[in-house]
Amino acid sequence: MVAASQPYDQRDGYIWMNGELISWRDARVHLLTHALHYGSAVFEGERVYDGEIFKLSEHSQRLHESAKGLDFVIPYSVAEIDHACRDVVRANKLVDGYVRPLAWRGSEQMGVAAQATKINLAIAAWDWGSYFDPAARTKGLRLTIGNYRRPDPRTAPAKSKAAGLYMICTIEKHRAEREGYADALMLDWRGQIAEATGANIFFVKDGVLHTPLPDCFLDGITRRTVIGLAKQRGLKVIERAIMPEEMADFSECFITGTAAEVTPVAEIGPYNFAIGDITRTLLDDYSALVHRAKAEPAKVAAVG
């Protein structure tokens, strides 16, 4: 992982921007860019494993869908975005790392209305290790419960991976870290469990996986991948509304995301969880999948 002391605008390498690879340090936008003032930007986060971007086309397709949710169209096809992402990985000589495509409204018009703005697309990629302390894989994360809640989808484009939706996530992440936690669990506007600040969440009870229904937050690509891996193992997965007090009855917990991958959770507020067989197995299965391992999955013993 690159040291935090090295600013992201002062690194060496290449960024793809509006159709061409340019020097990393030359990838700049104007102060009056609409996205900076009004949050009119969407993005993706993708992992590179062994030189390949995991589920690249799914990410590129979701970027297009996110843009539509913010009422703009990206002027590059999914195939063109895929190609550009691979070019960036090669140009920066990455074997393992992280890719960040970003689409945003430019500086041609200022104000809430933005029909005259140009839609820009840039893609960066860099070395990035574990999102959390690597020790979390054996010890589990400590999470607090956030104050801000995921909004009603009638009040925000909840299905878009929109930059503005992460404002409250940053606030909650900062608060959690100040209090000695790794992250925060966010509820939705109804008081139901939603997600962590940048990852989906799963619980285990009696050998069955339970996860919140993604009706006001992203149905993560990693989330869907892990559900598929669990079903290959013969595990039952229930997507449903989950209330916070139900955490007292769950034996295991883990979060999933492109950055987080599969990370066990040991504590959420007053609730504690074991790092059990199902969590460890799905963590290993996900790692094997992204590294193209061919091992045949075996059945997991029921927990409970």
Angle at 171 between CA 126 and CA 265, to 5 degrees: 70
- Could you tell me if 143 and 268 are in contact, meaning their C-beta atoms sit under 8 angstroms apart? yes
Report the alpha-carbon distance of residue 22 to residue 7 in Å, rounded: 18
Q: What is the mean pLDDT of residues 26-36?
A: 97
Residue 235 is encoded by which pair of tokens? 């595990």
Report the alpha-carbon distance of residue 149 to residue 49 in Å, rounded: 33
Contacts of 268 (CB under 8 A, 6+ apart): 143, 144, 145, 185, 247, 253
Q: Where are the domains of the chain?
A: 14-126, 136-290
- Could you tell me if 49 and 89 are in contact, meaning their C-beta atoms sit under 8 angstroms apart? no
Instruction: Name which CATH class applies to 136-290.
Output: alpha beta
pLDDT for the residue numbered 303? 40
pLDDT digits (tens, 9 = 90+) for 224-243: 999 999 999 999 999 999 99
pLDDT for the residue numbered 4? 54
pLDDT for the residue numbered 134? 85
pLDDT for the residue numbered 187? 98
Q: What is the pTM (predicted TM-score) of this model?
A: 0.92
Task: Establish whether 161 is a catalytic residue.
Answer: yes
Of 55, 159, 161, 173, catalytic:
161
- Could you tell me if 234 and 299 are in contact, meaning their C-beta atoms sit under 8 angstroms apart? yes
CATH 3.40.50.300 fits 14-126, yes or no: no
pLDDT for the residue numbered 304? 33
